[in-house]
Amino acid sequence: MVQVNPGFIDQVGQAKTFNAAACMNCGVCSAVCPMGIELLPRKLFRYVLLGMEDKVRDNSATIYSCLLCKMCEVNCPAGVHIAENVRTLRYYLYK
Amino acid sequence: MSDRRIGVYICHCGGNISDYVNVETVRQAVANEPGVVVAKTAMFSCSDATQQEMIQDIREQNLDGLVVASCSPKLHLPTFREVARRAGLNPYRYTQVNIREQCSWTHTNDHAGATEKAVRLVRAGIARTNLTDPLQPIVIDTVPAVLVVGAGIAGLRAAVGLADLGLSVYLVEKSPAPGGRVGDFGAMYPHGKNGRQLIDRLVGEVRKRELVTLFTNAEMVAKSGTIGSFNVKIRVGGKAPGEINVDVGAIVVATGFDNYQPAADEYGYGMDGVITLPEFKKLLDDNAGELEYNSRQVKNIVYIYCVGSRQQDGENPNKYCSRYCCNAAVHASLQVSEKSPRAHQFHLYRDVRTYGKYELMYNEAREKGAVFCAFGGDEPPEVVSGPDGKLKVTVRDLLTYGEELAIPADLVVLVTGMVPAANSWLTELLKLPLGQDRFFNEIHPKLRPVETMVDGVFICGTCQGPKNSAESVASALAAVSQGASILKKGYVELEPLIAAVDPQACDLCGDCLETCPYSAIEQDTAAIRINSAQCKGCGGCAPVCPKGAINLKGYTDGQVKSMIDALLKEI
């Protein structure tokens, strides 16, 4: 059972630089990822939207393994700014 | 031998029939049946050329009976009756024999059998035609007035529409004021006007029209008569109670729906902070500023969708989707975003059905931060009260890979749907058929969506099934045009294929009275009579009569016996 933490949503999920509302969970991002990172970004964004702080922290190594190549972003049918979102998360984890 | 002059046409239906049934064999087998003077085959009987040929044959050969062996009478009975009429032959001397659905399509692996069956069916059709009498449609003069039951958005709009077509309207509302459910609604999508404003506007339109009489605190308590000419008794309560009798040509039922009321403890209903969608919408309308519930600020809202809709088990489950609730909940969620921009909103749904233009509303809600989680129908969320007294909703979210979530909630909104309004007295009074979902049933969901099995009684709005307000108004206007199409003509024509009592044979035993599902049989001391406008020609009464005094016109005992003899010929 994962506790949803609304405070975490406020800190990250609703930050101006993070926007994953348009994500519809299609999975194109995972399919085109040259690193084969399955987590990124669709799962990860769900964790953020739902305030699942522990899940995000558990995956910090994965978050840092992203190349920021934007392969996912150019292929995203919903136009989510994936690389920008990942940067925001890194900033948050670093803090 | 017969002195009738019957024309018989066996149809190939392109190859639909002739690929399996040897139509020439059928033609030869029936050409010498009693009464047959013309026996032909045709590639497409329904084609203009063949219709012309039939008309020519009827006129030149002086035919007094017509048989077409082709497809289902549901498809072309009216076509060939019209052919007969155009040729000067009484349309009720026409018989359609269905050798496509009943022979070629059912016996594709047995050509000989299909052909033999076709021969027998056509012989039976000829036998029936030998005994046909010319019949005339029953003509009933109509009263140019309509009773509309229910003054919600559908009933009000229907009343305005009917009045604009020049028909008098008696609009009957059982509550003290018109408006129905929409009258209680706050801001509505997409224009943002609230329901009350919409209703006030409609009521204003109603008041402008002298042809509309609105009765509030009123109910229809009795009905007699038939399509075109009903007599209705209206009981009016309130300050000046009394009863009024009115004559109307048609009745429009617009009695609406009830909100689903969750059972005690269904998703925690009854706990402080667990409310239904209508209760939530009222809360929104009553809160001018930031959303509060019981004087507590509301920061986290969890919506649970499909409560009382799409049920899979239990007694009489509501299997249908209530259609409006996804849109209403998402719309409410957007209102929350405006009133309390920092509130967190979690929507736990089974499937989001914000169809059509409402999709934009759904996108907007997500962009404003609402999170949607999908649960499986077999794994509904649970609402629990924690040790601190705070509500918590647990759910397995299919969009987060089956992760089990525990979401803290200040308010849990049960997105409840529609159920049929409790008005069994009306069902009983009008003898309206109900569907499996217990809403009123139309004759055909696509082609005859506002007509009922009871001629002259129309349904519209949510008494027929879940609809949003726009759809309710559209169906109300459909009922207007259907009702007016009867009444503006001034008369209705009904099928004459109804029961008839032979007064010589009838001994007034009355056994037939109870067999009639349409209350069309009347008895007094002198005779038993069939109400020709009410009888549907179902034939339920005929076999019950111990004296054989009841016959169904077009299907008399004599005709049915001769058909059986023809079916069994040479056996």
Cβ <8 Å between B399 and A21:
no
Cβ <8 Å between B371 and A2:
no
Inside any domain, residue B560: no
Cβ <8 Å between B346 and A4:
yes
> Tell me, what's the pLDDT at B415?
98
Task: Output the pTM of the full model.
Answer: 0.81
Task: Please tell me whether residues B448 and B523 are part of one structural domain.
Answer: no
In angstroms, the CA B516 to CA B521 distance is: 7
B93: CATH: 3.40.50
Of A1, A93, A85, residue with least CA distance to A44: A85
Q: Do the interacting molecules here have an ipTM over 0.85?
A: yes
> Tell me, what's the pLDDT at B441?
95
In angstroms, the CA B23 to CA B5 distance is: 21
Inside any domain, residue B569: no
Task: Please tell me whether residues B202 and B240 are part of one structural domain.
Answer: yes
Contact between B146 and B250 under an 8 Å Cβ cutoff? The reply is yes
B400: CATH: 3.50.50.60
Task: Please tell me whether residues B483 and B502 are part of one structural domain.
Answer: no
Supply angle C-alpha B239, B245, B246, rounded to 5: 115
In angstroms, the CA B465 to CA B528 distance is: 39
Place of tokens 């921009």: B341
Q: How far is B297 from chain A (nearest CA, A)?
A: 15
Task: Please tell me whether residues B343 and B456 are part of one structural domain.
Answer: no
Task: Please tell me whether residues B207 and B283 are part of one structural domain.
Answer: no
Residue A13: pLDDT band with limits 50, 70, 90: low
Task: Please tell me whether residues B518 and B539 are part of one structural domain.
Answer: yes
> Tell me, what's the pLDDT at A15?
64
Dihedrals phi, psi of B113, to nearest 5 degrees: -65, -40
Inside any domain, residue B559: no
Q: Are strands B6-11 and B36-42 parallel, antiparallel or unpaired?
A: parallel
Angle of helix B557-567 versus helix B111-130 axis, rounded to 10: 150
Task: Please tell me whether residues B353 and B428 are part of one structural domain.
Answer: no
**Helices within B188-340 (DSSP H only):** 195-208, 277-286, 325-339
* End position of a domain, from candidates B476, B491, B506: B491
Task: Please tell me whether residues B55 and B74 are part of one structural domain.
Answer: yes
Task: Please tell me whether residues B30 and B161 are part of one structural domain.
Answer: no
Inside any domain, residue B1: no
3-class DSSP state for residue A3? strand
* Number of domains observed in the structure of chain B: 4
Task: Please tell me whether residues B97 and B20 are part of one structural domain.
Answer: yes
Cβ <8 Å between B371 and A14:
no
Q: How far is B309 from chain A (nearest CA, A)?
A: 25
**CB proximity A50 to B under 8 Å:** yes
Of B544, B542, B546, residue with least CA distance to B559: B542
In angstroms, the CA B293 to CA B336 distance is: 13
DSSP assignment of B109-121 equals T-HHHHHHHHHHH
**CB proximity B342 to A under 8 Å:** yes
Cβ <8 Å between A1 and B366:
no
Strand partners, B65: B6
Task: Please tell me whether residues B15 and B58 are part of one structural domain.
Answer: yes
In angstroms, the CA A35 to CA A29 distance is: 11
Residue type at position B343:
A
Place of tokens 């009216």: B78
Cβ <8 Å between B403 and A52:
yes
A9 contacts in chain B (CB < 8 Å): 344, 369
Inside any domain, residue B571: no
Would you state the structure tokens that stand for residue B421, as one six-digit string? Answer: 């309004």
Inside any domain, residue B140: no
Angle of helix B325-339 versus helix B277-286 axis, rounded to 10: 30
Return the residue of A nearest to B401 by Cα: A43
Task: Please tell me whether residues B268 and B406 are part of one structural domain.
Answer: yes
3-class DSSP state for residue B244? strand
In angstroms, the CA B50 to CA B90 distance is: 19
Dihedrals phi, psi of B76, to nearest 5 degrees: -125, 10
Tens digit of pLDDT at every position of chain B (571 positions): 689 999 999 999 999 999 999 999 999 999 999 999 999 999 999 999 999 999 999 999 999 999 999 999 989 999 999 999 999 999 999 999 999 999 999 999 999 999 999 999 999 999 999 999 999 999 999 999 999 999 999 999 999 999 999 999 999 999 999 999 999 999 998 888 999 999 999 999 999 999 999 999 999 999 988 899 999 999 999 888 999 999 999 999 999 999 999 999 899 999 999 999 999 999 999 988 899 999 999 999 999 999 999 998 888 899 999 999 999 999 999 999 999 999 999 999 999 999 999 999 999 999 888 999 999 989 999 999 988 889 999 999 998 889 999 999 999 999 999 999 998 889 999 989 999 999 999 998 898 999 998 889 999 999 999 999 999 999 999 999 999 999 999 999 888 999 999 999 999 999 999 999 888 999 988 899 998 888 889 999 999 999 999 999 999 999 999 999 999 998 8
In angstroms, the CA A46 to CA B345 distance is: 14
Dihedrals phi, psi of B256, to nearest 5 degrees: 70, -160
In angstroms, the CA B104 to CA B86 distance is: 30
User: CB B483: neighbour CB atoms within 10 A?
Assistant: 29
B537: CATH: 3.30.70.20
What is the distance of C-alpha B529 from the center of its chain? 30
C-alpha dihedral sign at B510, B514, B520, B522: positive
Of B26, B23, B93, residue with least CA distance to B58: B93
* End position of a domain, from candidates B491, B521, B537: B491
Range of the domain at B151: 145-256+421-491
Of B402, B400, B461, B556, residue with least CA distance to B182: B461
Inside any domain, residue B506: yes
Would you state the structure tokens that stand for residue A89, as one six-digit string? Answer: 């998360």
* End position of a domain, from candidates B416, B449, B466: B416
Torsion on CA atoms B340, B346, B350, B356, rounded to nearest 10: 40
C-alpha dihedral sign at B226, B228, B231, B237: positive
The string of pLDDT tens digits covering residues A29-74 is: 888 888 877 666 778 888 988 989 888 888 888 889 889 999 999 9
Contact between A66 and A86 under an 8 Å Cβ cutoff? The reply is yes
Return the residue of A nearest to B405 by Cα: A2
Return the residue of B nearest to A7 by Cα: B344
In angstroms, the CA B262 to CA B412 distance is: 13
Inside any domain, residue B566: no
In angstroms, the CA A37 to CA A40 distance is: 6
Dihedrals phi, psi of B365, to nearest 5 degrees: -60, -40
